[in-house]
C-alpha cells in the first residue's frame, strides 16, 4: 500500500505562485518605468507593461471586476474539486493548484492596481511574444500538466482495456 497525499496539501503550490508572482511584479513596479526595456540575454527582455485584458490582451475593454470574478470563480471551483477528490490524483491536483495560484496572482493585481503587470518579453528579431508574468507561467504549466494527466489517464485506460481483451 502506498501513501497518498491529500490533494489539498498541494495548495502550498498556489501560495508559492502567488507570493513569487507578487514579489516579482513589485520589483518591476519599483525599478522600471512604464515601457522600460532591460535586455537580460539574447531573445529576453524585462519590460514594464500594463495588461487590462486576458491573455494576449483579449477582452481589454472588460472591467477589472469581470476578471476578478472569473479568477475567483475558477479558484472556488478548484478548491471544491480538491475537497471533493481528497486523495491520489497528485498530478491533477498540482496542475489545478498552479492554475489557481496564477489566477489568484492576477486577481491580486486587478484588485490592487486595476490591471495586471506583465514583464517578461521573449522576442526574435522584431517579433515579440505577448509580455507575460509568473502567474501566466503557472497557468500555462498547470494547463500543460492537465493535458499530460488526461493523456496518461487515456493511455492507462486503453492499456487496461487491451489487457482485459487479451
* Radius of gyration for the chain, computed over Cα atoms and rounded to the nearest angstrom: 19
Question: 66: which 3 cell numbers?
Answer: 469581470
Tens digit of each residue's pLDDT (9 = 90 or more) over 113-139: 999 999 999 999 999 999 999 999 999
Q: Which residues contact 156 (CB under 8 A, 6 or more apart)?
A: none
121 labelled catalytic = no
The pLDDT value given to residue 9: 82
149 labelled catalytic = no
Q: Single out the catalytic residue among 109, 118, 121, 149.
A: 118
The pLDDT value given to residue 72: 95
Q: Single out the catalytic residue among 21, 109, 121, 136.
A: 136
The pLDDT value given to residue 2: 45
Give the closest residue to 106 by CA, choosing from 28, 37, 53, 58: 53
> What strands lie across the sheet with 44-51, from one edge to the other?
37-41, 44-51, 116-124, 127-128
All structural domains of the chain with their residue ranges: 7-165
Each residue of 116-146: b (16+ CB within 10 Å) or e? bbbbbbeeeeeeeeebbbbbbbbbebbeebb
pLDDT of the chain along its 166 residues, tens only?
Answer: 344 568 778 899 999 999 999 999 999 999 999 999 999 999 999 999 999 888 767 788 888 899 999 999 999 999 998 888 767 788 999 999 999 999 999 999 999 999 999 999 999 999 999 999 999 999 999 999 999 999 999 998 888 888 888 7
Amino acid at each position: 500500500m502506498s501513501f497518498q497525499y491529500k490533494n489539498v496539501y498541494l495548495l502550498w503550490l498556489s501560495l508559492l505562485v502567488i507570493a513569487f508572482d507578487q514579489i516579482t511584479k513589485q520589483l518591476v513596479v519599483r525599478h522600471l518605468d512604464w515601457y522600460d526595456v532591460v535586455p537580460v540575454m539574447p531573445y529576453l527582455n524585462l519590460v514594464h507593461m500594463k495588461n487590462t485584458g486576458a491573455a494576449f490582451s483579449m477582452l481589454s475593454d472588460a472591467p477589472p471586476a469581470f476578471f476578478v470574478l472569473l479568477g475567483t470563480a475558477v479558484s472556488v471551483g478548484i478548491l471544491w474539486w480538491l475537497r471533493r477528490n481528497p486523495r491520489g490524483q497528485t498530478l491533477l491536483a498540482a496542475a489545478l493548484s498552479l492554475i489557481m495560484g496564477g489566477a489568484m496572482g492576477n486577481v491580486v493585481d486587478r484588485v490592487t492596481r486595476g490591471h495586471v503587470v506583465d514583464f517578461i518579453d521573449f522576442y526574435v528579431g522584431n517579433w515579440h511574444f505577448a509580455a507575460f508574468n509568473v502567474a501566466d507561467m503557472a497557468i500555462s504549466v498547470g494547463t500543460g500538466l492537465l493535458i499530460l494527466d488526461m493523456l496518461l489517464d487515456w493511455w492507462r485506460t486503453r492499456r487496461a482495456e487491451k489487457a482485459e481483451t487479451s
